[in-house]
Amino acid sequence: MASWNDHTVTNNHILPYVNSKTVPPVVAEGLTTLPFERNIFKLLANADTLFIPFMKLLSSCWGEGRALKSSEWQLTVLRTLSLLDAPYEWDVNEPVLRAFRYSNEQLALVRSGDLSSTKLFTDRQRLIREMVRELVEANGVSEANMVKARQTLGPKAAMEVMIIHGIYGMLARVMRSAKIDFDPEIPGLLDILKKFNAKVIEMYSRFYTP
């Protein structure tokens, strides 16, 4: 099982990883949404009827019409994973943040939840941190923070925070329940992700706030 400090592959996962070579073509297509395979998708594909529309939903998080800036979107993901103790999915998404120019210092602070530095994080990011914390700890965002989110983020981005948290919260619970293993090392992963996300990186680079 994946853990924060040990990436040893134990193969003690409870549910099987489906074989992309033996599943129906439409499921195999979903397994190659990214330019490499991931254990989490091979777990989800056990529920093949739900897997296909879920992958379309997940892909929409990367869409051009998203209101959240890339740094905010990934902050929502990483704070969810940290609070729900999901080291596997953190390992999957950390390179994405690096592709969007997060530093080692920022990554460490995101994991700890300390976004107090005004040089490294924005007021919008601190609000998102609080929204995610409340969703995990109180099962809902407080009225005060919802009003603040409506005013600061806007209704569209505020709803995106909650939907993205819901998606990755579900993934975190699947991983823990099925005792997922870390993926084998993917050579040149950061370069692959930068190429795969090139359009989104360029689109949102003007909004980047260090």
Instruction: Give the whole-angstrom CA distance, residue 8 versus residue 177.
Output: 18
Instruction: Give the whole-angstrom CA distance, residue 164 versus residue 176.
Output: 18
pLDDT of the residue at 10? 76
Instruction: Give the whole-angstrom CA distance, residue 58 versus residue 150.
Output: 24
Reading the block at residue 44, the tokens are 């989800």
Instruction: Give the whole-angstrom CA distance, residue 8 versus residue 207.
Output: 38
pLDDT of the residue at 193? 59
Task: List per-block mean pLDDT (blocks of 10 residues) for the chain, which spans 210 residues.
Answer: 73 91 90 79 95 90 84 93 93 81 91 95 96 97 98 98 97 94 72 57 48
Q: In one letter, which amino acid is 207? A: F
Domains of the chain, by residue range, sit at 18-60, 67-207
User: Residues near 113 by Cβ (< 8 Å), separated by ≥ 6?
Assistant: 79, 82, 83, 129, 133
Question: What superfamily in CATH does domain 67-207 come from?
Answer: AhpD-like (1.20.1290.10)
